[in-house]
Amino acid sequence: MATFVLVHGAGHGGWAWTRLTPLLRAAGHEVHTPTLTGLGERAHLATGDLDMDTHVADLLGVLFFEDLRDVILVGHSYGGVVITAAAHRDPSRIARLVYLDAPLPQDGQRSIDLLAPEHQREQTPAHAPSPAERLARLGITDAADAEWVRARLRPQPPGTQLQPLRLGNAEAAALPRTLVFFDRTPANFPAALYRRRLDAAGAPAYLVLDEGHDAMLTAPGRVAELLLPLAEG
């Protein structure tokens, strides 16, 4: 039996794993799906001083208080930033890091640095996407699914995107990593931008799934097929 801890992306919550979790548990594994402060059922806890340290503390708190060890830590999208920061804070309970359509951040970067070119980071978009457009970008096209997700998405706390990461832990840097990209993710999403940088470097060590950005909701069976072999090492 393996222990999976699944960390959701920006605007989401633990609810994002609702369809994937039963599949992992049916295979005999322990699964935890924490909701980061200020999102999901914890949206009422959002404050102006909430930052990346808060989300790292959320995650490490679950590992400690649930006494979880040899964890397969999975981060979706923004969750990939959180699992990286948490691993460099304390890697002792982590066996592997898995990035689901998520960029791998570098020391000193902020979450926002992964979202757009430098000259665009402080600009307000001329056209903010409508709820329908946002859901389409996530790969949510079914009408019932779209309404269910739309009702649960919440604004990402700004401070979580502005705090520079401090990634200097050699033990964390040596942890096994698995990168999975979803082929239908929009080209301007952080994961797609990072994937192009990997390709340009000539060493793209990653897996690809032909699904949209929220594949854990739209294709949970296919995501489970990717994760379950990791439980066997």
Residues serving a catalytic function are 77
Q: How far is CA 42 from CA 5, 15, 141, 148, 190, in A?
A: 18, 11, 26, 18, 25
103/98 Cα distance (integer angstroms)? 11
Which ranges of the chain would DSSP assign to H, the alpha helix? Answer: 21-26, 52-65, 78-89, 131-137, 143-150, 170-173, 190-201, 215-218, 220-227
Q: Is 174 exposed, middle or buried, given 0-12, 13-18 or 19+ CB atoms closer than 10 A?
A: exposed
146/128 Cα distance (integer angstroms)? 18
Residues 6+ apart with CB under 8 A from 156: 10, 11, 39, 78
60/62 Cα distance (integer angstroms)? 5
Q: Which two structure tokens, joined as six digits, stand for 131?
A: 């709820």
Q: How many CB atoms lie within 10 A of CB 88?
A: 21
